[in-house]
Amino acid sequence: MTYTDIFSQWTESRAVWNKVAAGVVTRTREVEAALPFLLLGFDSDNGGEFLNYHLWRSFSERAAPVSFTRSRPYHKNGNAHVEQKNWSHARQLLGYERLEVEALLGPINALYTEVWNPLQNFFCPSLQLLEKIKQGSRYVAGVKIDYRPSRIPG
């Protein structure tokens, strides 16, 4: 699973064994505890692993509730901020193969938390699309490269 902050582009990744709500809630709480800023909102895709009562309750029944929304159903790029990080944060490290051995879950999550996420968040630049300009029949992207460590709000 990939979690991305829209403002700072801070990205955390975690591996889960299956799409059971308890595992997703556990990993989401783990990611929230590791973030260097407060979680104000949570926008998920439309999978059943996210759209369930357990995750909704974990965000809504707390002292400071977190806004819980979902992306647009049946839209190709509904969660673009997360989708663009899948290559650099998940596929580049682990490839496209499915996790077939449950015993690898712990080492993969340790690799994510201790090595990969800090490397990506502190030392790799983050690209943001500023604008798309139409030149003739082509679109040209204006990209901003932020070479500083991920911006942390607050």
Token representation of residue 134: 């139409």
Return the structure tokens found at 59. Answer: 């965000």
143 in a domain, yes or no? Answer: no
Specify if 151 maps to a domain: no
pLDDT tens for the chain, 154 residues: list them: 888 887 888 889 898 888 788 888 888 899 999 999 988 888 877 676 777 878 888 888 888 888 887 776 666 666 666 777 777 788 888 888 888 898 999 999 999 999 999 999 898 887 666 677 788 888 877 665 555 555 555 4
Asked whether the beta carbons of 87 and 4 are under 8 A apart, the reply is: no
Domain boundaries, position 46: 2-125
CA 38 to chain centre: 15
**Residue 133 forms part of a structural domain:** no
Is 138 within the bounds of a domain?
A: no
Please report whether residue 141 resides in a domain: no
Residue 32, domain member (yes or no): yes
CATH of the domain at 44: 3.30.420.10
